[in-house]
Amino acid sequence: MPARSVAKAALSSDALCCDPLTEAPLSPGEADDLAQVLAALADPVRLRLLSIVAAQGEACSCNLEVPLGKSQPTISHHTRVLSEAGLIVGDRRGKWIWWRIVPDRLATLRRLLGGR
């Protein structure tokens, strides 16, 4: 089985390339892009989802309902938001979709938050 990816990219791939926000004023467009990714992170359920996936390296949607205490449509909604923000990617293997985090995305975020 070829393990097809189900990742979706809603944000233009070349977004989030600007300087850290502590370096120079953000343009409205840059601020919109960054706010969209931060909004994907700014939810307790999605943060816990992300931390579970990261801690396990990989997690299946069906294994997230119980620890997060949310219904299946809600889990599907949150994985969708996170994947559209580029923070996680999913591989369908058989009936299951296995999610893992995108380290580069978090690194980009950390850079934009002003380090260095």
- DSSP 3-state of 114: coil
Q: Which residues contact 82 (CB under 8 A, 6 or more apart)?
A: 40, 46, 49, 50, 88
- Answer yes or no whether residue 4 interacts with a copy of itself by CB under 8 A: no
Question: Could you tell which of DNA, a copy of itself, none binds residue 82, using a CB distance below 5 to 8 A set by kind?
Answer: none
Least CB distance to a copy of itself at residue 56 (A): 9
- DSSP 3-state of 5: strand
- Answer yes or no whether residue 100 interacts with DNA by CB under 7 A: no
Spatial contact of 38 and 108, defined as CB atoms under 8 Å apart: no
Q: Which stretch binds a copy of itself (CB under 8 A): 9-17, 72-80, 88-96, 100-108?
A: 100-108
Burial class (CB in 10 A: 0-12, 13-18, 19+), 63: middle
Question: Could you tell which of a copy of itself, DNA, none binds residue 70, using a CB distance below 5 to 8 A set by kind?
Answer: DNA
- Answer yes or no whether residue 61 interacts with DNA by CB under 7 A: yes
Size of the site for DNA (CB under 7 A): 26
Burial class (CB in 10 A: 0-12, 13-18, 19+), 22: exposed
Query: Can you give the binding site for a copy of itself, defined by CB under 8 A?
Result: 21-26, 28, 31-32, 34-35, 38-39, 41-45, 47-48, 50-52, 54-55, 67, 101, 103, 106-107, 109-110, 113-115
